[in-house]
Each structure stands twice: as structure tokens, then as C-alpha cells.
A = this chain, B = another copy of it.
């Protein structure tokens, strides 16, 4: 029961800060339901005699929206997303980082911080955009408005003021590289957001080449050696955890891979059943239920 005790909010909430200080790089995998939470919780791999597992869960707004069949435009609201968190917390123990999109209006954001903290979430990441949020994978194809440094800083400061524990982290995500505003803008924002109280900086890029991410990390670390850096290598997936860590990255988030793995497998299964007018042909590649439910705890 020692491990299960970690499910209690007081242990789970502060565990992210502990992991950041204890491990070279915190590995975080996307979860959007109880069962995906269990995959992140329980998947262990042996690498050259060493056991590897994920350290924490990322509740992506894109994947949560997609699971619900809704567009990723902050339409899936906080109450709906809190239910996703609840579903995951019910069956896991690892710490949770919550994708907070823009954080919404500052007057609402402070309540979100309080609710997440009470639930035992470890961190929220909010991005410096405003107005109708669109997913960053669209980059400059769709109209996006970046919040000013002042606006974003005010939101961060308000969130930090609302917070009741020392455990919870508010991490600022910088969209400057996505929106092609340049490295200088990204760095200026990073330092300003840390000054406003941000407990970490997430820097994002849509490029295949991790060069601009690494440049940011190096330049940020020249000035600030302490504030945790978060990256999400969806596009620049050529880079390894070790390389990221060597550039000062503290948290790597695999942001959408479970969603992207499940979908084609399900779609192909649906197609083949329609094609063969029975399930026999797909059955061999499906996992038996009895095997799946070994992951589910029976009390």
C-alpha cells in the first residue's frame, strides 16, 4: 500500500518538484483517461539491465478534446477537463501536469489554480496567447494573438498569489518560436515570466530540427541556471532525452503519442470488420480483454 499512498493529493502534488530535483530529466507521457493513465503508470521497460518508466502524466488539452471528439479550441471547459483528471487520479499515483491552454481570463485562472491544487495536480502550463485558442500545430496558418508580456505576467502573478501550497507549479509556455517572433522575443518573455513568478518555462517549436530549441535552452541557461525548462519534442523528435538534459532541459513531455497510436489501430479494426462482415480477421492482432484488465487494480 506504500505505492498506492502516493495517490493521496498531498504526496502526488509535491512529487513533481521532488522528481525535478532528483532526476536528470523528468519523463512525462500523455494520458486522457483512466486506462491511458494506467499505461503511463505501469509500463516498465528493461534497457540494458536498467528499468525505465515514465515519471509523470501530461493531460493534454488536444488529446482530451480529441478523446471527446471536440475541436481543440478551449471548447472542452474546465469542469469537463477536471472530470478527466478525476478519472485518471482514481486509478494512478504518478504526478500530473495539466495543459491549461491560455489559462483563460485571469479572473477565472485564479480559481483554476485553486481547484487543481486541491485535487493534487502538480503543475499547470499556460501559453502566452489570448482570444480564441487554436492548436499550435497550425503555427501561422491560423490567426493567433500572442498575449503581451504584461498581460501574461499579470496572469502568472495572479495565479501564484492565489496558490495555497508551496508544491504547485505554474509553468509559462512561450509561443514566440511557433509564431515566428524570433529568439530574442522568446528569451525576453522567458525572463519576464520567471520574474513574474513562473515556476518553469516551456519553450515550443514546430521545426523538425531541434536547433532553435537548443539555442533557446543554452541562452536561457547562461542567465538562469535554476528555473526548470520543459520541452515537447513532437516535431523535433530526433533528439534524445540525454541530449535535452545536457542542454539544461528538466522535463520532456511526450504530448500526444498514445492518442496517435490508438486511433489508426481502432480505425483499421473498424474498417476490417466492415470489410469481412465478422471480427475473426482482426481478432489475432487484438489483445484479449483478460490481458488488458491485468492492469486494473482490484481492491
Interface residues of A (CB under 8 A from B): 1, 4-5, 7-10, 27, 29, 33-40, 43-45, 47, 52-54, 62, 66-75, 77-80, 83, 87-92, 105, 107-108, 110-111, 114-115, 117-118, 120, 132, 135, 137, 162, 164-165, 233-234, 237-242, 254, 256-271, 273-280, 282-283, 285-290, 292-293, 295-296, 298-299
A299 to B161, CA, bound (A): 9
* Contact (A34, B261) CB under 8 Å given A267-B39, A271-B43: no
Copies per complex of this chain: 4
Chain B residues within 8 Å of A279, by CB: 233-234, 237, 254, 257
Chain B residues within 8 Å of A282, by CB: 257, 261
Q: What distance in Å separates the Cβ of A155 from its nearest Cβ neighbour in chain B?
A: 13
Q: Do A33 and B35 touch across chains, with their CB atoms under 8 A apart?
A: no
Chain B residues within 8 Å of A77, by CB: 77-80
A120 to B254, CA, bound (A): 31
Q: Do A164 and B239 touch across chains, with their CB atoms under 8 A apart?
A: no
* Contact (A118, B299) CB under 8 Å given A67-B33, A87-B68, A293-B66: no
A239 to B111, CA, bound (A): 40
A27 to B275, CA, bound (A): 12
Q: Do B242 and A277 touch across chains, with their CB atoms under 8 A apart?
A: yes
Q: Residue A293 contacts which of B71, B78, B105, B276 (CB distance < 8 angstroms)?
A: B71
A-side interface mostly: helix
Q: Do B263 and A35 touch across chains, with their CB atoms under 8 A apart?
A: yes
Q: Do A287 and B274 touch across chains, with their CB atoms under 8 A apart?
A: no
Centre residue among A4, A47, A80 by max chain B CB count within 10 A: A80
Chain B residues within 8 Å of A285, by CB: 261, 264
CB nearest neighbor in B for A288 = B260
CB nearest neighbor in B for A114 = B299
Chain B residues within 8 Å of A29, by CB: 270, 273
Chain B residues within 8 Å of A91, by CB: 68-70
Q: Do B289 and A273 touch across chains, with their CB atoms under 8 A apart?
A: no
A40 to B273, CA, bound (A): 11
Centre residue among A44, A254, A262 by max chain B CB count within 10 A: A262
Q: Do B233 and A4 touch across chains, with their CB atoms under 8 A apart?
A: no
7 further A-B contacts with Cβ under 8 Å, apart from A45-B275, A263-B287, are A7-B164, A8-B164, A43-B270, A83-B83, A90-B114, A240-B278, A254-B279
Q: Do B111 and A75 touch across chains, with their CB atoms under 8 A apart?
A: yes
Chain B residues within 8 Å of A268, by CB: 261
Chain B residues within 8 Å of A132, by CB: 105, 107
CB nearest neighbor in B for A165 = B8
Q: What distance in Å separates the Cβ of A239 from its nearest Cβ neighbour in chain B?
A: 6
Q: Do A47 and B274 touch across chains, with their CB atoms under 8 A apart?
A: yes
Q: Do A265 and B273 touch across chains, with their CB atoms under 8 A apart?
A: no
Q: Do B277 and A240 touch across chains, with their CB atoms under 8 A apart?
A: yes
Q: Residue A274 contacts which of B43, B90, B283 (CB distance < 8 angstroms)?
A: B43
